[in-house]
Amino acid sequence: NAGVTQTPKFQVLKTGQSMTLQCAQDMNHEYMSWYRQDPGMGLRLIHYSVGAGITDQGEVPNGYNVSRSTTEDFPLRLLSAAPSQTSVYFCASSYPNNLGGTEAFFGQGTRLTVV
Amino acid sequence: AQSVSQHNHHVILSEAASLELGCNYSYGGTVNLFWYVQYPGQHLQLLLKYFSGDPLVKGIKGFEAEFIKSKFSFNLRKPSVQWSDTAEYFCAVIRQAGTALIFGKGTTLSVSS
């Protein structure tokens, strides 16, 4: 049981390049989400998904696309990278527990630098 | 929309001092509340969480937090900090049956030995 796995851990892109950040979970959680972490800004929600085939925008969705074709995977795509997208990206999966709460599990992050 | 406010951007303490980090949220319904810690160069780690019941919750490493519903607050406390507590601390909230956490901007704690 690996939990939430993000790849790659580090990436350097040139402005205008595209890439996909991978996120996979093996806990059969319905909910998954992507965050970016910037100094002094905390973690901000980019996109989230409530199940396969269903995605929605978070607080800072511009410049990012997502899809959810399976329960396990939730890739984040940068179509044309910009320096403003230099950040640390976290993927999370979550599920509603039997206490009326939501349990969330985070990946170890991807540090992306756009030059 | 939900939001989370962390009052202190940077807190500097000496070892053995007591710690209290403020967190307020804006949402009138039932919420779950969390505190996460991020040590330098590492990923997020859950310190503690509140779902329901006793408003005083205890977490790892001697941390505790108190949920005060009337004040929409979930402050983090530790009686005596150590140098190893130097890290960034994030408060987060999710509405009941919600799908994604909303985070505060974080508080950097620096503890000098």
Which percentage of chain A shows pLDDT scores above 90? 88
Q: Please tell me if residue B89 touches chain A, with a CB cutoff of 8 Å.
A: no
Give the pLDDT of residue A62: 96
How, if at all, do strands A54-57 and A76-78 pair?
unpaired
Q: Chain B contacts of A94, Cβ < 8 Å?
A: 94, 99-101
Residues of B in contact with A74 (CB under 8 A): none
Enter the DSSP assignment of A89: E
The mean pLDDT value for A60-76 works out to 97
Which among B43, B97, B104 is the nearest to A106, CB-wise? B43
The reply to whether residue B101 touches residue A104, judged by beta carbons under 8 angstroms, is: yes
Mean pLDDT of A56-78: 97
Mean pLDDT of chain A: 94
Neighbouring CB atoms inside 10 A of A32's CB total 30
Using alpha carbons only, give the angle A107, A84, A7 rounded to the nearest 5 degrees: 25
Count CB-CB contacts under 10 A for residue B19. Answer: 20
B39 touches chain A (CB under 8 A): no
- % of chain A at pLDDT higher than 70: 99
Kindly report the number of other CB atoms within 10 A of residue B69's CB atom. Answer: 10
Distances (CA, A) of A115 to A7, A12, A112: 20, 7, 10
Give the per-residue pLDDT at A103. Answer: 83
DSSP annotation of B42: -
Q: Is residue B81 within 8 Å of residue B23, measured between CB atoms? A: no
**What does the pLDDT average to over A77-81?**
96
Half-sphere exposure of A34 (CA within 13 A, CB side): 30
Question: How would you write the pLDDT of chain B (113 residues) with one tens digit per residue?
Answer: 778 999 899 999 999 999 999 999 998 788 899 999 999 888 899 999 999 899 999 999 999 999 999 999 999 999 999 999 999 999 999 987 678 899 999 999 999 98
Q: Which of A41, A42, A102 lies at the smallest CB-CB distance from B94?
A: A102
Q: Are A92 and B101 within 8 A, CB to CB? A: yes
Between strands A110-114 and A10-13, the pairing is parallel
Over range A71-83, report the average pLDDT.
Answer: 97
What is the token pair recorded at A85? 């997208």
DSSP state of B62: G
Burial, B8: exposed, middle or buried (Cβ in 10 Å; 0-12, 13-18, 19+)? middle
Q: Out of A33, A43, A100, whose CB is closest to B90?
A: A43
**pLDDT tens-digit readout, A10-54:** 999 999 999 999 999 999 999 999 999 999 899 999 999 999 999
pLDDT, residue B76, reads 98
Is 70 exceeded by the pLDDT of residue A1? no
Chain B contact probe: residue of A43, A91, A110 with most B CBs at under 10 A:
A43
Q: Which residues of A touch B44 (CB under 8 A)?
A: 90, 106, 109
Q: Is B104 on the interface with A (CB under 8 A)?
A: yes
Cβ contact, residue pair B105, A41, below 8 Å: yes
Preceding omega of A8 cis (within 30 degrees of 0): yes
Tell me, what DSSP letter sits at residue B98? -
What pLDDT score does A74 carry? 98
Q: Rounded CA gap, A1 and B19, in Å? A: 36
